[in-house]
Amino acid sequence: MKIAAAAYPLDWFDSFDDYQAKLTAWVDDAGDADLLVFPEYGAMELASLGGRAVAGDLEQSLHEVARHMPAAAALHERLARERGCHILAASGPVFQGTRPVNRAVLFGPGGVIGHQDKQIMTRFERESWHVVGAPGLRLFDTDLGRIGVLICYDSEFPLLARALADAGAELLLVPSCTDTVAGFNRVRIGAMARALENQCVVVHSPTVGLCDWSPAVDENRGRAAIYGPPDGLWPETGIVAQGAMDEPGWVFAQVDLARVRQSREGGAVLPFRDWAESDHGKVI
């Protein structure tokens, strides 16, 4: 399959039509990619539709974006159907009760495949934004392969990825939103480690660039990349493809998930198979 990972800038919109034009152009620019991955909190640009005062207020921006999420979902669903591709939409707030979750939705040519909510909140989400976790990982069995999603901070926790790998995931999608190089590197290192441990493919899609009208996503650092396990069957660096730092655009890679199975059965090392032995590392 051909994978496209977005390094995605956040823009100001005067109308939903402007957002539709941007997203359509991005999907068109991905060409014949089979899977398109957008970043965490990329949907926050929809807060601009409420005007400067709303977009500049942490709480009001959440509600404004959540208000537009159904229309954004319908747009993604149509684009996936018309282009015959799979799209992980940029995540955004969805209210389930008094506080929102951070949700990413996966679309395929046949419609909505499912959604994944972020499991573990960062300090900003917990302490300032009051976004909440929604426990429960989902495995998506698609025409492309078995896919799991770890939203940003979730990728830094090995047992989350391991649960997905044990359930059959061959491909992990990591949408992220980080405002420092250190934050980006935490997610990048986590994503690469998850590819190593589980001998699978990990796709990292970040937000990039300045967004001075939003206190939530005002600065965004990162680069898009696709990683594999450096086990003799993939690039020695583990980097299948990557873009330039903070440069908007798509990063592409051709990936055969049959190679994931080859890695797990015949790699130079077999961490996926040998994971159970890490239980021996208990302090006595």
Catalytic residue at 118?
yes
Dihedral sign for Cα atoms in the order 77, 82, 84, 88:
negative
Residues 6 or more apart whose CB falls under 8 angstroms from that of 25 comprise none
Rounded Cα–Cα distance for residues 65 and 50 (Å)? 9
- From the candidates 45, 64, 85, 152, give the one annotated as an active-site residue: 152
Largest CA-CA distance found in the chain, in angstroms, rounded: 62
Contact between 253 and 3 under an 8 Å Cβ cutoff? The reply is: yes
- What Rg do the C-alpha atoms of the chain give, in angstroms? 18
Contact between 34 and 2 under an 8 Å Cβ cutoff? The reply is: yes
Both tokens of 270, joined, read 């077999």
Per DSSP, the three-state class of 110 is: coil
- From the candidates 45, 118, 156, 197, give the one annotated as an active-site residue: 118
Rounded Cα–Cα distance for residues 46 and 89 (Å)? 13
**Partners of 115 in the beta sheet?**
105
Residue 25 half-sphere exposure toward CB, CA atoms < 13 A: 8
Q: What is the DSSP letter of 89?
A: P
Q: How far is C-alpha 70 from the geometric centre of its chain's CA atoms?
A: 19
Catalytic residue at 40?
yes
So which residues are the catalytic ones? 40, 118, 152
